[in-house]
Structure 1
Amino acid sequence: MSPNSTSPARLRAVGVSGDESVVEGPLRGYHHETYVVPLPGATGVTGRWKCREPRSGLLWFDRRCFVSEEQLLRALQGRITDVPDVFEVGGLTLQRFVEGRTLGSLHGAGRAVPEAFTRQILRLFGEMAAVTARTLPVDRRCSPEDRPADGDTDGFMERLVCFTEQRVHAENLPRFGSLFAALGLDDDAFKRLRKHVAGLHERPFCLLHADLHRENIVVDADRRLWTIDWELAMVGDPLYDLATHLHLMRYPSWQRPRVVEAWRRTVEAVRPGGTRGWREDLERILGYKRAQSVFTDVIREAVSLGREARSAGPGVGTAAARLHTILTGAVLPLGLESVPGPAEIAAALVRWGRAHPDAEEPPPDTP
C-alpha cells in the first residue's frame, strides 16, 4: 500500500475515476496533493482531469484574491486563450490536465524563450489587460482594505508590502527571528522598503496572473502555450505582473528588453495608461520582488534543509550560496549596509538548525 493510498485526495480521485489503476500521482507540487484521472463515465468528456486537495500545515507566502481558482477559470473561458477547462462531477470541480511539457523543461531559467512562445505570452498579457474587476464575476476572498481603488498603485503596493511584513516576516519571527537577525534583516527593513517603492505612477488595474513563470506554462504537442496555476491571480497594477514575470522567468539579458518593449506596446494598446511611468517604476517594483524573496527564501531554505541544517555540509553550503545571491540582490530595496558572506550564512543556518531540532524535511514531492 502506498503512503498516499488512504489520503482524502487519492480516495476522491479513485471515486471519480472508478478505477484505482488509472489514477496517476501525487504530482509534484507544494500547495496541493494532486492526482490525474480519466473520466470514462462522463458523457462527452475526454482527456484527463486533476483531482486535488490543499495540503495542511503549509507556509503561505502570497496573497490569495479569489475564493476559487476553478471559479476564476470558468469565468475566463473565451476571454483568455488556452486556460484549462473546468468540469463538475460528483460534487467535485475538476480542472482539465493539460498534456504537454512545461516551458521550463524545454527552455530552462536563463535560456532564451523562442519568439513563437514569447508572442503567445505577450498575447496573454494583452488579454489579461482587457479583464477588469468590474467585468469579472468571481467571488473574492481578500478584505476590503486589500482592494485599493482602481489606479491606486501606491495603495496596491502597500498592501503587498503589508502582507510580506505581517504574514511572512512577523508571523514567522518566533521561529526564524534569530536567523533573520543573523542575516542583517533588522526591524527597519520594511521602512526602507516602503521608501524604495513609494511614489508609483497611477495605472488602471486589470487581471494579473501574479505567478507567470516557466513551470506554470505548458507547451502542448501543437506548440500552443497553456497557462496553469491561477491560484495567486488578483486584480491590480499591470506593471506588477510584468515585474513578477521578469523576476521569475530570468530571461537572458539580450531578450529581456525586447519582452519589456513588446509588453509595453501590447498592454498600452488594450488599456491606455496601463504602462504609464514604467521606466521609472519597473525597477522599484522589481526591488520589492527581490526583497520579498529574501524573507520567503530564508524560510524555505531553512525548512528544506531539515535535519541537514544541524551540521555544516554540502547542502548547507549550497543553501548559503543561494541566500548570499538573494541578499545581494536586495541590498538597495532593503537598505542593507552589508551582506554576510556565504560562510557566515552557512554558520547562521547551522546555529538555527541546532536550535530547532524539531525541523522537519519537506514532503518528498515538494519542489
Structure 2
Amino acid sequence: MTWLELYGRAVDSGEAAAGYYNRNVGLATPEGKVNVRIPIAAADTMDVRLWREEEVLAAIRPYAGRVPELRHVSDAPRFQVHHFIAGRVLDGFSPRGAAVPEHVLTDVVTLMDQLTRIPREKVPELPAYWPASGDGPAFGRLLADLTRQVHSLHVDEYREAFALLGIPEDPLAVVGPLWDGLTPRPFSVLHADLHRKNMIVADGATWFLDWELALWGDPMYEIGIHFHKMDYPEEQRAAVLRLWRERLRSECTAGPAADLDLYMAHEKIKSAVVDTVRYSKQLAAAPRPEREFLIGRLVKKVNAARQVWGAPPDLTFERVEEALAPWWKG
C-alpha cells in the first residue's frame, strides 16, 4: 500500500478524532497501526503558528522520548503519518478539574525540562520578526497581538454577544502595560498546548501529542498555558509548580509569581474571545446535550476572564445561551 492510498483510506474513514486544526485517523497497515493526520482546511487561525509540525517532531525526537514518531510527510495532498500510540486519552478518564494520576505530574515536568535543553541550533529556523531569546516583553506582546487580531476580525459580527458576556471593547487593555515587567528568561522549545486531550496514558507513562502549536519562547508561558488548559485541582497545580521549579534550570524558572499570573491572565482573556467564536460555530449542528455542555464551559471561561477585567464572575448559563442564540437557533 502506498502512502497516498493510506491517505485515501483515512479521508474515506468515518472514524476520526478531530481537534481544531487536524483530523486523526488510526489505520492498520502490514507494518503496524499508524495515525494519519490531516489538516482541517476550514479551521480559523486562533493561535500563534510558528513551525510545521513535522519540523518540530524531527527536532525534538532526540531529546523528548514520548512523542509521536514521524513516518511520512506529504505536501500535496497535505498530511502526515505518525506511529500509533495505543493507550487512553487522559481527558477520557480524567476530565478538566479532576485529579490526574500522579505520574502525569512528573511526566509533564520532565517533558518541559527536556524541551528547555534542546540547543537553539537544533530547532527549525525562526522568522526575522521573532523576539530574541530572553525578550519576554516582546514575546508576550506577540501572543497578545494575535488575540487582538482575532477580536478585531470578529468584533463586528459578535459585538452584541461580546457585550452581553461583558467582554470589553479592548479586552487586552488590562494586560497591555504589564508585559514590560516580565523577567528575562532564556527561550526554549514550548509545546504550548499541553492539555488532557493531547496526552495518552499507556503502561504508567504519558505520551504527548499534537505539536502543531509549538513555539520558541519563554518557559514561563509553557507552564502558564498548561495550568490554564489543565484546570488541575489546587493541590496538584501546586505540586506541578513545585516540581517545575525543582527540576528545571534556575534561569528558566526565574521571576516572581506575577509573571505566571500575567501569562494566565492573557490566556483567560484569549479563551473568552476565541471560544465565544469557536463555540458559536459548533452550536448550530450540536444536539441539545452537547450545546448545554459547550455553553456551560463558556460560562466558566468567560467568568474567569471577567475576574481579570475586574468584573464579578456572575455570568449565568441563561445569559450565555441568550448571547449565542443567533447561532444555535439559526
Q: TM-score range by the shorter chain?
A: 0.7 to 0.9
Which of these residues, 56, 76, 82, is aligned with residue 72 of structure 1?
A: 56
Counterpart code for 1:106:
F
2:87, 2:264 → 1: CA distance? Answer: 31
- How far the C-alpha of 1:223 sits from its partner, in A, is 2.0
**Residue-by-residue CA offset, 1:152-194 (whole Å, 9 max, x unaligned):** 111101000000101x211122322331233232323222231
8 Å contact kept, 1:23–1:36 = no
Counterpart code for 2:102:
E
Q: CA RMSD in A?
A: 3.0
- How far the C-alpha of 1:278 sits from its partner, in A, is 3.9
**How many pairs does the alignment contain?**
326
Counterpart code for 1:227:
F
Range that drifts further, 183-192 or 331-340 = 331-340
Question: Which residue in the other structure is 2:15 paired with?
Answer: 25
**Map of 1:118-267 to 2, 5 A cutoff?**
118-136=105-123, 138-140=124-126, 143-145=127-129, 147-166=130-149, 168-220=150-202, 222-267=203-248
Q: Aligned in 2, Cα 1:63/1:14: closer, same or farther, shift over 3 Å?
A: same
- How far the C-alpha of 1:299 sits from its partner, in A, is 1.0
**Residue-by-residue CA offset, 1:338-357 (whole Å, 9 max, x unaligned):** 86544333322225656xx4
Counterpart code for 2:28:
P
Q: Aligned in 2, Cα 1:332/1:202: closer, same or farther, shift over 3 Å?
A: farther
TM-score, with length taken from structure 1: 0.79
Question: Which residue in the other structure is 1:364 paired with?
Answer: none
Larger-gyration structure (1/2): 1
- How far the C-alpha of 1:276 sits from its partner, in A, is 1.1
TM-score, with length taken from structure 2: 0.87
Aligned residue for 1:327, secondary structure, equals: helix
**Residue-by-residue CA offset, 1:120-140 (whole Å, 9 max, x unaligned):** 22111110111243332x245
Counterpart code for 1:287:
A
Aligned residue for 1:192, secondary structure, equals: coil
- How far the C-alpha of 1:60 sits from its partner, in A, is 2.3
1:330, 1:253 → 2: CA distance? Answer: 19
Aligned residue for 2:175, secondary structure, equals: helix
**Residue-by-residue CA offset, 1:27-72 (whole Å, 9 max, x unaligned):** 34332233223342xxxxx432222321122222111111x21222
2:7, 2:289 → 1: CA distance? Answer: 44
1:347 aligns with 2:322: yes
1:27, 1:266 → 2: CA distance? Answer: 34
1:47, 1:315 → 2: CA distance? Answer: 35
Aligned residue for 1:148, secondary structure, equals: coil
Unaligned runs of 5+ in 1: 1-10, 41-45, 358-367
Aligned residue for 1:99, secondary structure, equals: coil
1:108 aligns with 2:95: yes
1:344, 1:149 → 2: CA distance? Answer: 43
8 Å contact kept, 2:189–2:216 = yes
